[in-house]
Structure 1
Amino acid sequence: MPRRKLTADEIELWRKVAKQAERLHPELPQTVHPTVLPKPKPTKSPVPRLETFELGQKSQPTPAGNNLKTSISEALRRDGVRMDVKAFGRMKRGKLKPEGRLDLHGMRMDTAHPVLVKFILSAQASGKRLVLVITGKGKDRDEPGPIPTPRGVLRNQVPHWLSLPPLAQAVLQVTPAHISHGGDGAYYVYLRKKKQFG
Protein backbone atom coordinates (compact mmCIF):
# COMPACT_ATOMS: atom_id res chain seq x y z
CA MET A 1 0.00 0.00 0.00
CA PRO A 2 1.52 3.37 -0.94
CA ARG A 3 2.35 5.81 1.81
CA ARG A 4 0.22 9.01 1.75
CA LYS A 5 0.99 12.53 2.99
CA LEU A 6 -0.82 13.99 6.01
CA THR A 7 -3.49 16.58 5.35
CA ALA A 8 -3.42 20.04 7.02
CA ASP A 9 -6.27 19.05 9.41
CA GLU A 10 -4.36 15.94 10.50
CA ILE A 11 -1.21 17.98 11.18
CA GLU A 12 -3.22 20.52 13.26
CA LEU A 13 -4.83 17.70 15.23
CA TRP A 14 -1.43 16.17 15.86
CA ARG A 15 -0.06 19.47 17.25
CA LYS A 16 -2.99 19.81 19.71
CA VAL A 17 -2.47 16.27 20.98
CA ALA A 18 1.28 16.79 21.30
CA LYS A 19 0.82 19.98 23.43
CA GLN A 20 -1.39 18.17 25.94
CA ALA A 21 0.74 15.05 26.19
CA GLU A 22 3.53 14.71 28.71
CA ARG A 23 6.86 13.77 27.38
CA LEU A 24 8.35 10.48 28.42
CA HIS A 25 11.87 11.86 28.15
CA PRO A 26 11.80 15.63 28.91
CA GLU A 27 15.59 15.88 28.68
CA LEU A 28 15.52 15.25 24.93
CA PRO A 29 15.07 18.31 22.64
CA GLN A 30 11.57 18.98 21.41
CA THR A 31 10.68 19.43 17.78
CA VAL A 32 7.95 21.80 16.76
CA HIS A 33 6.74 20.08 13.63
CA PRO A 34 6.53 16.39 13.07
CA THR A 35 9.00 15.43 10.46
CA VAL A 36 7.69 13.52 7.49
CA LEU A 37 10.47 11.33 6.27
CA PRO A 38 10.87 10.98 2.55
CA LYS A 39 9.94 7.70 1.07
CA PRO A 40 13.12 5.58 0.80
CA LYS A 41 14.15 4.78 -2.70
CA PRO A 42 14.82 1.12 -3.27
CA THR A 43 18.36 0.36 -4.21
CA LYS A 44 18.81 -2.10 -6.99
CA SER A 45 21.22 -4.82 -6.10
CA PRO A 46 23.36 -5.82 -9.02
CA VAL A 47 22.31 -9.06 -10.64
CA PRO A 48 25.06 -11.60 -10.08
CA ARG A 49 26.75 -12.53 -13.31
CA LEU A 50 26.69 -16.25 -13.87
CA GLU A 51 29.87 -17.87 -15.03
CA THR A 52 29.74 -20.14 -18.02
CA PHE A 53 29.51 -23.77 -17.06
CA GLU A 54 30.81 -26.81 -18.85
CA LEU A 55 29.82 -30.31 -17.90
CA GLY A 56 32.56 -31.92 -15.80
CA GLN A 57 34.70 -28.79 -15.43
CA LYS A 58 35.33 -29.39 -11.73
CA SER A 59 35.73 -33.16 -11.90
CA GLN A 60 39.06 -34.71 -11.02
CA PRO A 61 40.99 -36.38 -13.83
CA THR A 62 40.60 -40.13 -13.92
CA PRO A 63 43.53 -42.07 -12.54
CA ALA A 64 45.91 -43.56 -15.08
CA GLY A 65 45.08 -47.11 -14.05
CA ASN A 66 45.56 -49.41 -11.16
CA ASN A 67 48.68 -50.77 -9.61
CA LEU A 68 47.35 -54.26 -9.04
CA LYS A 69 49.70 -57.15 -9.48
CA THR A 70 49.71 -58.47 -13.04
CA SER A 71 48.66 -62.02 -13.77
CA ILE A 72 51.33 -64.74 -13.80
CA SER A 73 50.97 -65.39 -17.53
CA GLU A 74 51.25 -61.62 -18.24
CA ALA A 75 54.38 -61.35 -16.07
CA LEU A 76 55.97 -64.33 -17.86
CA ARG A 77 55.13 -62.78 -21.25
CA ARG A 78 56.83 -59.51 -20.25
CA ASP A 79 59.89 -61.42 -19.10
CA GLY A 80 60.99 -61.88 -22.71
CA VAL A 81 62.49 -64.82 -24.55
CA ARG A 82 65.90 -65.98 -23.29
CA MET A 83 66.10 -69.21 -25.24
CA ASP A 84 66.23 -69.94 -28.98
CA VAL A 85 63.28 -68.13 -30.58
CA LYS A 86 62.36 -70.99 -32.95
CA ALA A 87 62.48 -73.54 -30.14
CA PHE A 88 60.40 -71.18 -27.96
CA GLY A 89 57.74 -70.91 -30.68
CA ARG A 90 57.58 -74.70 -31.08
CA MET A 91 57.38 -75.12 -27.30
CA LYS A 92 54.51 -72.58 -27.00
CA ARG A 93 52.58 -74.43 -29.75
CA GLY A 94 53.00 -77.72 -27.88
CA LYS A 95 55.29 -79.20 -30.56
CA LEU A 96 58.22 -79.93 -28.19
CA LYS A 97 57.73 -82.98 -26.00
CA PRO A 98 58.70 -82.48 -22.33
CA GLU A 99 61.46 -84.88 -21.21
CA GLY A 100 60.26 -84.94 -17.63
CA ARG A 101 57.08 -84.25 -15.73
CA LEU A 102 56.28 -83.24 -12.14
CA ASP A 103 52.71 -83.14 -10.83
CA LEU A 104 52.33 -80.83 -7.81
CA HIS A 105 48.57 -80.82 -8.16
CA GLY A 106 46.91 -80.97 -4.71
CA MET A 107 50.15 -80.52 -2.70
CA ARG A 108 50.64 -77.95 0.02
CA MET A 109 53.29 -75.25 -0.38
CA ASP A 110 55.57 -76.65 2.33
CA THR A 111 55.61 -80.04 0.57
CA ALA A 112 55.66 -78.78 -3.01
CA HIS A 113 58.71 -76.48 -2.75
CA PRO A 114 61.34 -79.11 -1.78
CA VAL A 115 59.88 -81.56 -4.33
CA LEU A 116 60.19 -78.90 -7.05
CA VAL A 117 63.80 -78.06 -6.10
CA LYS A 118 64.84 -81.73 -6.15
CA PHE A 119 63.07 -82.38 -9.48
CA ILE A 120 64.54 -79.37 -11.34
CA LEU A 121 68.11 -79.87 -10.11
CA SER A 122 68.08 -83.62 -10.86
CA ALA A 123 66.53 -83.00 -14.33
CA GLN A 124 69.32 -80.53 -15.13
CA ALA A 125 71.96 -82.93 -13.79
CA SER A 126 70.66 -85.71 -16.05
CA GLY A 127 70.88 -83.40 -19.12
CA LYS A 128 67.15 -82.77 -19.68
CA ARG A 129 66.24 -79.46 -21.34
CA LEU A 130 62.42 -79.24 -21.22
CA VAL A 131 60.31 -80.36 -18.28
CA LEU A 132 56.65 -79.88 -17.45
CA VAL A 133 55.56 -78.78 -13.97
CA ILE A 134 51.83 -79.27 -13.32
CA THR A 135 50.37 -77.02 -10.62
CA GLY A 136 46.66 -77.20 -11.33
CA LYS A 137 44.51 -74.11 -11.86
CA GLY A 138 43.47 -73.83 -8.23
CA LYS A 139 40.06 -73.53 -6.63
CA ASP A 140 37.87 -70.46 -6.55
CA ARG A 141 37.61 -69.04 -3.04
CA ASP A 142 34.24 -69.44 -1.30
CA GLU A 143 34.71 -66.19 0.64
CA PRO A 144 36.13 -63.44 -1.58
CA GLY A 145 36.40 -60.87 1.24
CA PRO A 146 37.94 -57.41 0.95
CA ILE A 147 41.46 -58.62 0.13
CA PRO A 148 41.75 -60.35 -3.24
CA THR A 149 43.34 -63.77 -3.01
CA PRO A 150 44.90 -65.17 -6.18
CA ARG A 151 43.35 -68.33 -7.50
CA GLY A 152 45.72 -71.28 -7.28
CA VAL A 153 48.44 -70.82 -4.68
CA LEU A 154 50.93 -73.19 -6.36
CA ARG A 155 50.16 -71.76 -9.79
CA ASN A 156 51.26 -68.35 -8.47
CA GLN A 157 54.20 -69.59 -6.36
CA VAL A 158 55.98 -71.94 -8.78
CA PRO A 159 57.23 -69.22 -11.20
CA HIS A 160 58.46 -67.24 -8.19
CA TRP A 161 60.32 -70.25 -6.78
CA LEU A 162 61.88 -70.92 -10.18
CA SER A 163 63.31 -67.37 -10.24
CA LEU A 164 65.03 -67.74 -6.83
CA PRO A 165 68.20 -69.64 -5.88
CA PRO A 166 68.99 -72.52 -6.10
CA LEU A 167 66.65 -72.97 -9.10
CA ALA A 168 67.42 -69.64 -10.86
CA GLN A 169 70.82 -70.87 -12.04
CA ALA A 170 69.22 -73.97 -13.62
CA VAL A 171 66.17 -72.36 -15.29
CA LEU A 172 66.48 -70.52 -18.61
CA GLN A 173 62.78 -69.94 -19.47
CA VAL A 174 59.38 -70.44 -17.82
CA THR A 175 56.13 -70.13 -19.75
CA PRO A 176 52.55 -71.39 -19.39
CA ALA A 177 52.04 -74.74 -21.07
CA HIS A 178 50.12 -75.39 -24.27
CA ILE A 179 46.54 -76.61 -23.80
CA SER A 180 47.61 -80.13 -24.84
CA HIS A 181 49.99 -80.22 -21.82
CA GLY A 182 47.69 -78.63 -19.22
CA GLY A 183 47.25 -75.00 -20.33
CA ASP A 184 47.05 -72.52 -17.46
CA GLY A 185 47.44 -75.30 -14.90
CA ALA A 186 51.00 -76.19 -15.97
CA TYR A 187 54.34 -74.59 -16.89
CA TYR A 188 57.06 -75.45 -19.36
CA VAL A 189 60.44 -75.06 -17.68
CA TYR A 190 63.33 -74.88 -20.13
CA LEU A 191 66.60 -75.71 -18.37
CA ARG A 192 70.12 -74.47 -18.98
CA LYS A 193 72.75 -76.96 -20.16
CA LYS A 194 74.72 -78.43 -17.31
CA LYS A 195 78.23 -76.97 -17.30
CA GLN A 196 80.88 -79.60 -17.90
CA PHE A 197 84.04 -79.31 -15.82
CA GLY A 198 87.31 -80.90 -16.80
Structure 2
Amino acid sequence: MMVRKRRGRVLSDDEKSLWQRVAETITPLDANQRAHMIAALEEMAPLPVPEGPVVPAVVAKPVAAPALASAEALQALVVGAKGRGEARPESQTPAYLPLQHGTSPGVDRRTADRFRRGRMVIDGRIDLHGMTQEQAHIALHHFIEGQHAHQARCVLVITGKGARGEGVLRRAVPRWLNDPRLRPLILSFSHAQIPDGGDGALYVLLRRHRE
Protein backbone atom coordinates (compact mmCIF):
# COMPACT_ATOMS: atom_id res chain seq x y z
CA MET A 1 0.00 0.00 0.00
CA MET A 2 1.47 3.32 -1.06
CA VAL A 3 1.50 6.01 1.59
CA ARG A 4 0.74 9.41 0.22
CA LYS A 5 3.13 12.08 1.41
CA ARG A 6 1.37 14.90 3.16
CA ARG A 7 2.01 18.20 1.50
CA GLY A 8 3.04 21.10 3.71
CA ARG A 9 1.02 24.27 4.01
CA VAL A 10 2.14 27.07 1.73
CA LEU A 11 3.43 30.02 3.75
CA SER A 12 2.00 33.44 3.16
CA ASP A 13 4.22 36.39 2.26
CA ASP A 14 3.97 37.79 5.80
CA GLU A 15 4.97 34.43 7.29
CA LYS A 16 7.94 34.15 4.91
CA SER A 17 9.12 37.65 5.83
CA LEU A 18 8.82 36.87 9.56
CA TRP A 19 10.79 33.63 9.20
CA GLN A 20 13.52 35.42 7.25
CA ARG A 21 13.97 37.96 10.07
CA VAL A 22 14.19 35.14 12.64
CA ALA A 23 16.72 33.20 10.56
CA GLU A 24 19.00 36.24 10.31
CA THR A 25 19.36 36.28 14.12
CA ILE A 26 20.59 32.63 14.30
CA THR A 27 24.35 31.99 14.46
CA PRO A 28 25.28 28.53 13.03
CA LEU A 29 27.48 26.19 15.12
CA ASP A 30 31.12 25.78 14.10
CA ALA A 31 32.77 22.34 13.80
CA ASN A 32 34.07 22.24 17.41
CA GLN A 33 30.72 23.22 18.92
CA ARG A 34 28.92 20.61 16.82
CA ALA A 35 31.39 17.89 17.95
CA HIS A 36 30.93 18.76 21.67
CA MET A 37 27.12 18.62 21.32
CA ILE A 38 27.23 15.19 19.63
CA ALA A 39 29.55 13.82 22.34
CA ALA A 40 27.27 15.13 25.11
CA LEU A 41 24.22 13.48 23.54
CA GLU A 42 26.04 10.13 23.25
CA GLU A 43 26.96 10.20 26.96
CA MET A 44 23.34 10.58 28.03
CA ALA A 45 21.86 7.33 29.42
CA PRO A 46 18.94 5.95 27.46
CA LEU A 47 15.51 6.04 29.10
CA PRO A 48 14.68 2.79 30.96
CA VAL A 49 12.19 0.47 29.30
CA PRO A 50 9.36 -0.39 31.76
CA GLU A 51 8.87 -4.07 32.58
CA GLY A 52 5.47 -5.74 32.34
CA PRO A 53 2.43 -4.56 30.50
CA VAL A 54 2.18 -0.91 29.83
CA VAL A 55 -0.71 0.64 31.75
CA PRO A 56 -2.50 3.11 29.55
CA ALA A 57 -2.69 6.59 30.87
CA VAL A 58 -5.94 7.43 32.56
CA VAL A 59 -7.71 10.20 30.79
CA ALA A 60 -9.87 12.22 33.12
CA LYS A 61 -13.44 12.41 31.98
CA PRO A 62 -14.77 15.91 31.59
CA VAL A 63 -16.85 16.94 34.58
CA ALA A 64 -20.36 17.75 33.59
CA ALA A 65 -21.53 21.22 34.50
CA PRO A 66 -24.00 21.18 37.39
CA ALA A 67 -27.60 21.41 36.36
CA LEU A 68 -29.29 24.71 36.97
CA ALA A 69 -31.23 24.71 40.21
CA SER A 70 -34.96 24.95 39.92
CA ALA A 71 -36.82 27.97 41.19
CA GLU A 72 -38.23 25.87 44.02
CA ALA A 73 -34.76 24.75 45.10
CA LEU A 74 -33.42 28.30 45.06
CA GLN A 75 -36.37 29.48 47.11
CA ALA A 76 -35.73 26.71 49.64
CA LEU A 77 -32.09 27.78 49.94
CA VAL A 78 -33.11 31.39 50.50
CA VAL A 79 -35.62 30.41 53.15
CA GLY A 80 -33.07 28.14 54.82
CA ALA A 81 -30.47 30.90 54.87
CA LYS A 82 -32.94 33.26 56.44
CA GLY A 83 -33.81 30.62 58.99
CA ARG A 84 -30.17 30.35 60.05
CA GLY A 85 -29.96 34.09 60.52
CA GLU A 86 -32.26 36.36 62.39
CA ALA A 87 -35.64 34.76 62.98
CA ARG A 88 -38.52 36.55 61.35
CA PRO A 89 -42.07 36.31 62.57
CA GLU A 90 -44.55 34.68 60.25
CA SER A 91 -46.94 37.54 60.72
CA GLN A 92 -46.25 41.24 61.10
CA THR A 93 -49.24 41.59 63.44
CA PRO A 94 -47.98 41.94 67.03
CA ALA A 95 -49.33 39.55 69.66
CA TYR A 96 -51.47 41.06 72.42
CA LEU A 97 -51.74 39.59 75.90
CA PRO A 98 -55.26 38.74 77.09
CA LEU A 99 -56.78 41.46 79.25
CA GLN A 100 -58.51 41.02 82.59
CA HIS A 101 -60.44 43.45 84.76
CA GLY A 102 -58.15 46.26 85.89
CA THR A 103 -55.00 45.15 84.05
CA SER A 104 -53.44 47.91 81.96
CA PRO A 105 -50.28 46.67 80.18
CA GLY A 106 -48.43 49.48 78.48
CA VAL A 107 -50.46 52.23 80.20
CA ASP A 108 -48.69 54.66 82.52
CA ARG A 109 -49.65 54.43 86.19
CA ARG A 110 -51.35 57.83 86.39
CA THR A 111 -53.61 57.15 83.40
CA ALA A 112 -54.42 53.63 84.61
CA ASP A 113 -55.38 54.95 88.06
CA ARG A 114 -57.64 57.67 86.63
CA PHE A 115 -59.24 55.11 84.33
CA ARG A 116 -60.08 52.58 87.08
CA ARG A 117 -61.42 55.31 89.38
CA GLY A 118 -63.80 56.59 86.72
CA ARG A 119 -62.11 59.98 86.49
CA MET A 120 -61.80 60.00 82.71
CA VAL A 121 -64.38 61.61 80.45
CA ILE A 122 -66.71 58.99 78.96
CA ASP A 123 -66.74 59.60 75.21
CA GLY A 124 -69.45 57.06 74.37
CA ARG A 125 -71.67 54.38 75.90
CA ILE A 126 -73.71 51.36 74.83
CA ASP A 127 -76.38 49.44 76.76
CA LEU A 128 -76.41 45.72 75.93
CA HIS A 129 -78.88 44.89 78.66
CA GLY A 130 -81.88 42.97 77.27
CA MET A 131 -80.13 41.84 74.06
CA THR A 132 -79.48 38.21 73.12
CA GLN A 133 -75.85 37.07 73.12
CA GLU A 134 -75.68 37.19 69.33
CA GLN A 135 -77.19 40.67 69.19
CA ALA A 136 -74.96 41.92 71.99
CA HIS A 137 -71.81 40.46 70.41
CA ILE A 138 -72.47 42.13 67.06
CA ALA A 139 -73.48 45.43 68.69
CA LEU A 140 -70.32 45.47 70.84
CA HIS A 141 -68.06 44.96 67.82
CA HIS A 142 -69.70 47.77 65.86
CA PHE A 143 -69.60 50.08 68.88
CA ILE A 144 -65.92 49.54 69.76
CA GLU A 145 -64.75 49.80 66.15
CA GLY A 146 -66.82 52.92 65.55
CA GLN A 147 -65.65 54.65 68.73
CA HIS A 148 -62.02 53.83 67.94
CA ALA A 149 -62.41 55.21 64.42
CA HIS A 150 -63.73 58.47 65.93
CA GLN A 151 -60.73 58.77 68.28
CA ALA A 152 -62.74 58.05 71.45
CA ARG A 153 -60.57 57.37 74.51
CA CYS A 154 -62.83 56.00 77.26
CA VAL A 155 -66.22 54.35 76.66
CA LEU A 156 -68.81 52.66 78.89
CA VAL A 157 -70.33 49.25 78.12
CA ILE A 158 -73.44 48.40 80.18
CA THR A 159 -74.09 44.66 80.56
CA GLY A 160 -76.46 44.47 83.51
CA LYS A 161 -75.75 42.33 86.56
CA GLY A 162 -78.22 39.55 85.80
CA ALA A 163 -79.95 37.39 88.38
CA ARG A 164 -77.82 37.14 91.54
CA GLY A 165 -74.90 38.76 89.76
CA GLU A 166 -74.47 35.92 87.25
CA GLY A 167 -75.57 37.67 84.05
CA VAL A 168 -74.63 35.98 80.79
CA LEU A 169 -73.52 39.23 79.14
CA ARG A 170 -71.60 40.26 82.23
CA ARG A 171 -69.41 37.17 81.83
CA ALA A 172 -69.27 37.23 78.02
CA VAL A 173 -68.29 40.86 77.36
CA PRO A 174 -64.73 40.59 78.83
CA ARG A 175 -64.17 37.55 76.62
CA TRP A 176 -65.48 39.39 73.56
CA LEU A 177 -63.21 42.36 74.27
CA ASN A 178 -60.29 39.93 73.89
CA ASP A 179 -61.44 38.82 70.45
CA PRO A 180 -58.57 39.09 67.91
CA ARG A 181 -60.59 41.67 66.00
CA LEU A 182 -61.12 43.96 69.01
CA ARG A 183 -58.08 43.33 71.22
CA PRO A 184 -55.69 45.49 69.11
CA LEU A 185 -58.02 48.47 69.67
CA ILE A 186 -58.17 48.15 73.45
CA LEU A 187 -55.65 49.04 76.16
CA SER A 188 -57.65 48.09 79.24
CA PHE A 189 -61.10 47.45 80.72
CA SER A 190 -62.32 47.59 84.29
CA HIS A 191 -65.48 47.43 86.39
CA ALA A 192 -67.27 50.77 86.40
CA GLN A 193 -67.74 52.87 89.51
CA ILE A 194 -71.15 52.67 91.19
CA PRO A 195 -72.52 55.92 89.66
CA ASP A 196 -71.79 54.48 86.18
CA GLY A 197 -73.29 51.03 86.81
CA GLY A 198 -70.85 49.29 89.15
CA ASP A 199 -70.39 45.58 88.42
CA GLY A 200 -73.05 45.78 85.72
CA ALA A 201 -70.91 47.96 83.47
CA LEU A 202 -67.36 48.24 82.16
CA TYR A 203 -65.04 51.09 81.40
CA VAL A 204 -63.08 50.39 78.20
CA LEU A 205 -59.88 52.32 77.45
CA LEU A 206 -59.28 52.52 73.71
CA ARG A 207 -55.91 52.68 72.03
CA ARG A 208 -55.07 55.89 70.22
CA HIS A 209 -54.12 55.50 66.57
CA ARG A 210 -50.51 56.47 67.28
CA GLU A 211 -50.12 53.98 70.17
**1:111 paired residue number:** 135
The residue correspondences of 1:140-151 to structure 2 (distance < 5 A) are 140=164, 151=166
**1:185 paired residue number:** 200
Task: Give the root-mean-square deviation of aligned CA atoms.
Answer: 2.1
* Structure 2: unaligned runs, 5 residues or longer: 1-98
Give the counterpart letter for 2:131 in structure 1: M
**1:95 paired residue number:** 119
State percent identity of aligned pairs: 42
Does residue 175 of the first structure (1) align with residue 165 of the second (2)? no
- SS, match of residue 131 in structure 1: strand
Runs of 4+ residues deviating >6 angstroms: none
Q: Is the 1:81–1:88 Cα contact (8 Å) retained in structure 2?
A: no
Q: Is the 2:102–2:190 Cα contact (8 Å) retained in structure 1?
A: no
Q: Is the 2:102–2:191 Cα contact (8 Å) retained in structure 1?
A: no
TM normalised by structure 2 equals 0.50
Match of 2:178 among 163, 166, 169: 163
1:78 offset after TM fit, Å?
7.3
Cα distance in 2 for residues equivalent to 1:77 and 1:122: 22
TM normalised by structure 1 equals 0.53
Q: Is the 1:155–1:185 Cα contact (8 Å) retained in structure 2?
A: yes
Q: Is the 1:94–1:180 Cα contact (8 Å) retained in structure 2?
A: no
Cα distance in 2 for residues equivalent to 1:77 and 1:135: 14
**1:42 paired residue number:** none
1:97–1:138 Cα change, 3 Å: same
1:123 offset after TM fit, Å?
0.3
1:94 offset after TM fit, Å?
1.9
Give the counterpart letter for 1:114 in structure 2: I
1:81 offset after TM fit, Å?
4.2
Cα distance in 2 for residues equivalent to 1:86 and 1:177: 17
Q: Is the 1:82–1:173 Cα contact (8 Å) retained in structure 2?
A: no
Does residue 123 of the first structure (1) align with residue 147 of the second (2)? yes
* Structure 1: unaligned runs, 5 residues or longer: 1-74, 141-149
Alignment length, in residue pairs? 113
- SS, match of residue 160 in structure 1: helix
**2:19 paired residue number:** none
Cα distance in 1 for residues equivalent to 2:154 and 2:206: 6
